[in-house]
Every structure is written in C-alpha cells, then in structure tokens.
Structure 1
Amino acid sequence: MQIYTSPFLRVAKRLAVICFLLSNAALYAQTKSSFPASTPEAEGVSAAAIDSFLNAVEGKHEFHSFMMLRHGKVVAQGWWSPYAPKLRHSLYSCSKSFTSTAIGFAVSEKRISVNDKVVSFFPGSLPDTISPYLAALTVKDLLTMSVGQSADPTGPVVSTKDDWVKAFLALPIAYKPGSQFLYNSLATFMLSAIVQKVTGQKEVDYLKPRLFEPLGISDMDWEINKQGINTGGWGLRVETEALAKMGQLYLQKGKWQGKQVIPEAWVTEATTFKIDQAPGVPQSKKDSSDWMQGYCYQFWRCRNNAFRADGAFGQYIIVMPDQDAVIAITSETSDMQGELNLVWKYLLPAMQPKALPANPAADDKLVKHLAALSLPPATGASNSTNGTFNKTYTLKPNVLNIRSIAFSSTNGVYRVTLKKDAATYTLNFANGKWLAGQTDMQGPGLVTAAREDFSILVPYKVFGSYGWSASQDLQLKLRYIESPHTETITCHFNGKELIADVDYSFNYGKNKVVLHGEVAE
C-alpha cells in the first residue's frame, strides 16, 4: 500500500531537520568564533566518537579546553568550567612554535638566515675565549635543539642569572652542533633574543602585525626576562581559539583567508623531520611514542603523519594534514603521551573522507556533554563546628615565607589573608562553587624561580572554593585560571595549633609543603 504524504508536510519535515542541524551547529560553537560551525557528521566526523573521547578523558586527565576543526570548521569545542573561551591559558613550551614562526618571518624578510652564526648577533656578550663549537653554532642548531650542550642548562641559568644571553654563550658545548638532540628551552630563548636583536622589537610585538592581527588573535601576552626579552621557549598566554588558528594556518601551508601570511616554504621547512631524538632506539618503541618521531623547527613530528606544538602538562596544537583536521587542547596532566593516545584511539578513526549520515541523537548527546563540562570545586560542609575559625595564626619560618594566615567569613564567603614576605594578600573562597577573584600573589608553576619580570602577569585571575570535611579539616582550592595549575591548602586545627598542607596540582600529591602555626595572642 502506498502512503500519500503532503508536499507541505515533506517541506515541514525538511525544515525541521535543517533547523535542528543549524541549532546544533550553533551549540557546537558555544561562543562567537572566527571559524564557521558545523555538525560533526556534516564534516565526516562521528559525534559519538567525540563523545567517547570526552568520556575517556574524564578521570584520567584534567582538560581545560578542547577544540576540534575539520575542513576549517568547528565540529566540537568545550571548556571545563571555570575555564572559559575568553580566558588566556599559559602554553609552556607550546610557545616555542610561535618563536619558530617569528624566525620564519625574519628569514622571509631577509633579516636573518638559519645558517647565520649565533655569535654574530651578540658581539658584546661573548666569552673571552670562543670555542670552535660555539663559533660554529647556527640559528638552525637552536631551532632543532641540537646545540651540543651535555645537559639542558635552562633551569640553572634562568634561576641564577639576569643576563641569560651572556650566560648561554658562556656555557661549554660538548658535541658538534647539529649532531645530537637535547631538549633545551634556553636555546629557544636565544631565538627570541635574536629576533629582538635584528628587529628592535620584542618577539610578541614583532608577531602582532605579521601573525596575531592577520589571524584575529588579540589579548595575548608573553613573559619577559630581566633584560626585557620575551622568554621564547615558554610564557606565551593566548585563548584556546588562538591555538586552533595557529594550527589551521600551518595546515593551510601558511595561508589565511586566501592570503599567504607566512611563506609555504617556511611552513614545510619548519614542520618536517630534522633530527632524530632517539637514534638507536628499537622501532617497536618508537612506534608507541610521539616523542620519537623526529624534531623539526620547534615543532614535533607525531605518529599518523601529524605534527604538533606542545607544552608541559598537555598544551597542544595537533595538525593532521591527512585528515584536514586541527585539534587544540589545554590541560594539566602527568601523562602527555596518554592524552595523545586517546586522540589516536578515538578521534583519528572518527574522521571519514566524506560526510556521514545525520545522527541527531548523537549530536544532541555531544552538545549536552560539551555544555556540561566542569571541574569540581572543593567538597565539604559550609560551616565549621569546632570554633577554630575567625582567627589569625602566626607561622613558623617556612620555605614559602608565609608569616601568618588569618581566617574570616562574610555572607558565606571565606576570606583568607596571607602575610608573605613584605606583602599581604587576601583571597576569597565560596562553598560548593568557584568564586572569581584576582590576586597579586604569584601562583604555582614550573618557572616561578626564574629571574623574570612577572609584573606583566599581575593581577593573576583566580577562582576559589572551600569545604569542611567530617573531621573538621578545611580545604581551600585556589585555581590560577590563566595557567594549568591549582593550589590546595588543607588546614588541620587542633586547639590553638594549625598545620596546613600546601599542595601544588602539578606535584600530584607529592612534595607537599607543611606549615605550622599557633593562634596569635
């Protein structure tokens, strides 16, 4: 039996489907974006697979943001509250790929060559005796992390010296430059110093009209050292969308909206194999590692013919030319390879050459999942029952130089005042939720001991939450929202005594600092 369907009904149904797809596309974007939005299936991606990826992440890694582009369109993006689209995020070594790009612009403008000798840029900073290896060191050797030093000098130099250029040039070089890979963030700083030397501008300022403005990237900042030079190998902060834009620019061989922003030849040169990080390692081991696929010019080669920029704790720009895709991630994880493994397990096979049949149920499920992403605040009761609150505690000498902690509350908001060195900092915390605030107190991080000018980062944006445990311990969680890191202080009260455990998230429960204090009389 043939069932007759009214043409008007058929049109109505088609309009309903179109409206559903458009609605979901808007929800996938979640915020105003420079990229057009689309549903995953329309771009040949399984929404169910993306949802499975998000489920696999939970409990294993702390993600802060995720953005996936296919064919130049946003197919999924999300931020784990309290992280948000318009917040910058510290990139750590993901910054290095931006420094490589600055070198690319300088090369294209014939200001420098990758074969230029490093000593030629700093005649006033050279040691009394220039070794043959130092004389032979080139810009390319800096780009490929093959300086020839026997150990990474970054930590010792940046934490003890103000003049990093002079300190770098004074270091012994044990091996022929270009012959051995050694990860070396100070080498990337030297690239930033070279850019500033030949252009008269800080790297971030040099990149603004060449990279950031053409891509519509704004509100970036970059840490500087005591000499006023951008740190180069770390310290850049941008929004998540800026990472996606950088990836898309490189995926498109340097083109942006039809314009060649950076020469295609440089993009190819910067992202192809230059040096083996692990010569002699069995192929079976290399096959399971994205850190043994070859290093480029401050980019890494990946498995599956991809390449990436990456930074400590899981800051990623993953470019997948074979799939015409870009994935941007900010996070804090102790297992960066584990994050990449999930990308290859779930997202890589999710992408097909052609559009997939519409799957409204899977789309709706993914949209709701992306909208509900969040990181839990401190857990526990809102009030203490032990009568130890609203007091000031004088602390014994400690490595954090905190002299006292004072506690008070107003309308359910806990106020914690720390006297540290010669400064006083007041922090606010809410129960069962994150409370936005700001502070001049420097947060935890890998480079806090560096001799830098951290003033450009002040005030730090923070979110605070608190909770009382059944044993009457007070947990204070302070999330430095423009970094990957969180500071947790657990306060144990015993009469007039206070023991406070200070835990930085990147220590993963190890190396806690324990503070001891008594009620101030």
Structure 2
Amino acid sequence: MQKTETSLPRKSPEELGISSEKVIGFLDALQERGLEAHGFMLLRHGHVAVEGWWDPYAPELPHMLFSLSKSFTSTAIGMAVHEGLLTLDDPVVSYFPEDLPSEVSENLAAMKIRHLLMMGTGHDKDTTDALHDAEDGNWAKAFLALPVPHEPGTHFLYNTGATYMLSAILQKASGQRLLDYLQSRLFEPLGILGPTWETCPRGIHTGGYGLSVTTEDIAKFGQLYLQKGVWHGKRLIEEDWIEEATGKQISNGDGGDSDWAQGYGYQFWRCRHGVYRGDGAFGQFCIVLPEQDAVVAITAGTGDLQGVLNCVWEHLLDAFLPEPVQEDERLSELQERLAKLRLDMPGFEPRSDMEARIGGKIYDLEENRFSLQSFRIDFGEDSACLTFEKEEGDEIITLGRQSWAMGQSPVFGGRDTRTASSFTWKAPDQLLLSIRGVETPFCITMEVRFGEEDIKIDHKFNVSFEADEDRPIVGKAAR
C-alpha cells in the first residue's frame, strides 16, 4: 500500500523476529476453515511486519467495525474522566432528569457510569431493540424506562444500549458529540482520517456500533493501547485508565476454551494467553498481545469469531521469536501470498444465449422484504447494468462479467457505500450475481432463474443478523 506521513512504520518479518512459516500457516488456516477475511495487519515492536487485503477489499477502504466501536467509546470516557468532566461513580440518572420514568427503581438509581462500561447495568436482556423501537427517537428515555431486575455491578449482560448511554452522557458532559470529542484527542494524533459514526434519530452517536475506519486505523488504536497511551512521545490516554479498562472488571463466564468467558473490562474483552481485545460482529478485531509486544488487526465477514481467534492462538502466538531472523527461506513465499490475496467471484460460464432474450426486459416483482418493485438487466461486452426499481428511486448496480466492477450503492446499510459486483452464468437460464459491500462485512449472492415469462430470485447473505433462509423473490415479465 502507499505509505503516507500518517502510516505506521514498516519492517520485514525477519527484522521483527516473526516466522513467515507461522504466518503462512495462519493464512492457510483461515482458508481451510472457510473464514472470510478482508484485511489483516500484524504489528510488532511498533512496526507493521505483515499486511494483506483480500481483493476487492483494499487498505484505503474504511470498514464497519460494529461492536469494536465500543472500545473507542470507552476511550472517550477515560479521557473525559481525566479531564474532570465526569466520574465513573456518577449516577446514570443524574444526566437525564427530563427523561426519567415516573418511578425510579432502586437498581436504576444505583446504576453508575462504571456499570455501563463493564456491561453490569443490571438488565436481563440487551436494551438495543427497545431503543430502536422508541417511536419518539429518544433512546435515552427508552433505556431508562426498562426494568433493572439485578443490582448493578453483579450481573454481566452484553448490552449495546449501555454503550449508547455512554455516548449520550459524554455529549452532555462535554458539549460535543462523541466523534467530535475524539477528533482532536484521538483521531488526529493517530492520523485516522475521515472516520464516520452512525447516529440515533436525535443525532447522538450510537456508541456501541457504527464507527467505520480502515484496518490500519484499528492497528494504530491497538498500538496506542500497547504503548500505554503514549503516541510519538505525547500521552493521549492515562496509563491507569488503560490498565483498568483492559483488566477484568466483571466475570462473564467460567473461562475454559471460550474467549467470551475470560472476563470483561470497560468495553474490552479479556482473552486467553494474557491477551485482550476489542471486537465486532462478523470478525472485526483489535487484538493486543502485551507479552509479545504485538498487535493483530483484522476486518472480515464471518460468523465464526472464535474460529478466527483460534487461528491466531494456534499459529501466530508461536510466530514471535526472541531475536530478529537472519534469513527466512519462506519470506518470499509469504510476500507472494500476501500480494495475491483475493476473494474469488463465482465463475461458471461467462455468456449465455439467454442474454439476447432477457436483456433490457422488465420483470415486475411480487412484494418482498427489500421493497424491490421490478428487475431489469442490460448486458454489455464486459459488464452488465442491473436495475431494481424501488418506490424511492431506481437502484442501479454495474456488474463485471466474471470480474469485479466497482461502484456505489445503498444496498448495504441504507447509505451509499462502495461495492464490488460481478455476474456469471451458472446454467443457460440461471444467472448468478455477487454484490459485495467492500466497506462492510456483507456480500449478497443472487441466483436468478428465468422462465418463459417469469423470474425467480434466490438470495443469500454471507453473514447476517437475521435468519439464513429467506423466501425467493418472484415476478413476471411486464406487459
């Protein structure tokens, strides 16, 4: 990738005492286990040793972090504590006097900022759905209206709504939105350019998810924590905060082989092997290995997060050597592997005689969960133009003929994000479309079967929060 003044310094794996063979083993394990990675960076002693992106993903593209956003929100709270804007023992209710229920329960009154941080609010289920369902868009009020059956601090429950409340409290305490607060304090010093963060209907950043940055930005964040909060000689985060935030604040299980049962800090997970991490849905990782003086940053699109961590433990833990390597005979092989990383689009037959009959034809679609009203595809020599009609306007996607065509679409997340799309013919009457949101974990595959005058579209996401199975979309040629 092109290096800039904001990039991390680079050295070879040999110089940093990292075994190329072990890293190759890690890449092989991801592939063998079907774990879809998008970006990977391995740092040691403050330098990037290994980096790779699976085409069509690229180093300059931001990636949705999902719950890895929580660790950034926690960092903002730590900074605000140091600045005297708030304390961890402040009652949550003290920040929202206008949004309190008519009766404040004893447990709600006892809930403090530290309880939000450690996921020990006392709730018995994640509050996120209740926040999203709030008709007036007042998420804080919806959070405070929920029952709190457990004494705060005694019961771990992963609760994304709690992190939203941290964002809302920070905005009240500082007068700045979360993203703006972190801009001069964290993002600018680290050289993190153009971060974006989703907001609630009232304009408060979501806190527990919604941040998008690049893989290298994740690596910088992990390196800052590894360096105990100091960046280029300037302290950005207090060391005692880092110790507290990444240490075990509450029990979340009885250990064992699960890296979700080793204890929880302040929006950081404890791991086996003396490691801690921030992570997000579908494989977004910032893994800090203090004993090895190393950081692993991963962006991905997989539902098997434990599988990714197992690959790190099984292959990368043993990759760190006590001294630089004089000569690694597999280094050139590793460099070649990294240069050729890619996610292949499906490839069957590049063309079909069906193109002449269906090209430009409009098919009216029956009611479906995507609110698509019609389907049309126009074929060119090396590409095709897919058009879905929707009530709010046409959605047009350019597809490469067995190659990735780059574009933009709101198909992933409701706002325009970069896409890479392709098509191939699985059979003379079966068109296979692949659309990747390359700033997201998501890829949708559509298998389109053409009859005499009808159409059937089977569709599947690589990863999703919803059920795997979905009803096909059907339609008929417009008359």
Specify if TM > 0.5: yes
Q: Which runs of 5+ in 1 are unaligned?
A: 1-28, 449-453
Identify which of 153, 156, 162 aligns with 1:178. 153
> SS of 2:15's equivalent?
helix
Partner of 1:87: 61
Please tell me the residue identity of whatever aligns with 1:242.
D
Partner of 2:442: 485
1:223-372 to 2 correspondence within 5 Å?
223-278=198-253, 281=254, 286-359=255-328, 361-372=329-340
Structure-2-length-normalised TM-score: 0.96
Partner of 2:399: 429
1:129-140 to 2 correspondence within 5 Å?
129-140=103-114
Find the aligned partners of 2:433 and 2:426 in 1 and give their Cα distance: 11
> SS of 1:397's equivalent?
coil
> SS of 2:163's equivalent?
helix
Q: Deviations over 1:165-211 (max 9, x none)?
A: 10000000000011000000000000001111111111011000000
Partner of 1:147: 121
Cα pair 2:36 2:300 within 8 Å, conserved: yes
Partner of 2:420: 463
Structure-1-length-normalised TM-score: 0.88
Q: Deviations over 1:52-80 (max 9, x none)?
A: 11111114200000000011111100000
Please tell me the residue identity of whatever aligns with 1:201.
Q
> SS of 1:287's equivalent?
coil
Find the aligned partners of 1:427 and 1:434 in 2 and give their Cα distance: 12
Partner of 2:183: 208
Cα pair 2:91 2:111 within 8 Å, conserved: yes
Identify which of 164, 174, 181 aligns with 1:199. 174
Partner of 1:19: none
> SS of 1:43's equivalent?
coil
> SS of 1:194's equivalent?
helix
> SS of 1:224's equivalent?
coil
Cα pair 2:345 2:404 within 8 Å, conserved: yes
Cα pair 1:503 1:509 within 8 Å, conserved: no
Identify which of 29, 32, 39 aligns with 2:12. 39
Partner of 2:139: 164
Partner of 1:219: 194
1:386-465 to 2 correspondence within 5 Å?
386=354, 387-439=357-409, 441-443=410-412, 458-465=415-422
Find the aligned partners of 2:180 and 2:429 in 1 and give their Cα distance: 51
- Deviation of 1:471 after TM superposition, in Å, equals 4.5
Partner of 1:517: 475
> SS of 2:319's equivalent?
coil
* 1:376 and 2:334 are equivalent in the alignment: no
> SS of 1:225's equivalent?
coil
Partner of 2:88: 114
> SS of 1:304's equivalent?
helix
Find the aligned partners of 2:442 and 2:98 in 1 and give their Cα distance: 39
State the percentage of identical aligned residues: 42
- Deviation of 1:366 after TM superposition, in Å, equals 0.6
CA RMSD of aligned residues (A): 1.5
Change (3 A) 1:209 1:49: same
- Deviation of 1:356 after TM superposition, in Å, equals 2.4
Cα pair 2:130 2:143 within 8 Å, conserved: no
> SS of 2:55's equivalent?
coil
> SS of 2:144's equivalent?
helix
Please tell me the residue identity of whatever aligns with 2:140.
V
Find the aligned partners of 1:378 and 1:421 in 2 and give their Cα distance: 31
Find the aligned partners of 2:167 and 2:205 in 1 and give their Cα distance: 6
Q: Which runs of 5+ in 2 are unaligned?
A: none
- Deviation of 1:295 after TM superposition, in Å, equals 0.1
Find the aligned partners of 1:31 and 1:429 in 2 and give their Cα distance: 31
State the 4+ residue runs in structure 1 displaced beyond 4 angstroms: 29-33
Q: Deviations over 1:5-42 (max 9, x none)?
A: xxxxxxxxxxxxxxxxxxxxxxxx67556222111122
Cα pair 2:119 2:159 within 8 Å, conserved: yes
> SS of 1:213's equivalent?
helix
Cα pair 1:392 1:405 within 8 Å, conserved: yes
Find the aligned partners of 1:497 and 1:389 in 2 and give their Cα distance: 14
Structure (1 or 2) with the larger CA radius of gyration: 1
Partner of 1:188: 163
Partner of 2:101: 127
* 1:52 and 2:25 are equivalent in the alignment: yes
Find the aligned partners of 1:193 and 1:228 in 2 and give their Cα distance: 10
Cα pair 1:380 1:466 within 8 Å, conserved: no
Find the aligned partners of 2:191 and 2:445 in 1 and give their Cα distance: 36
Cα pair 1:465 1:478 within 8 Å, conserved: yes
Moved more, 346-355 or 187-196: 346-355
Please tell me the residue identity of whatever aligns with 1:517.
G
Find the aligned partners of 2:258 and 2:3 in 1 and give their Cα distance: 35
Cα pair 1:381 1:468 within 8 Å, conserved: yes
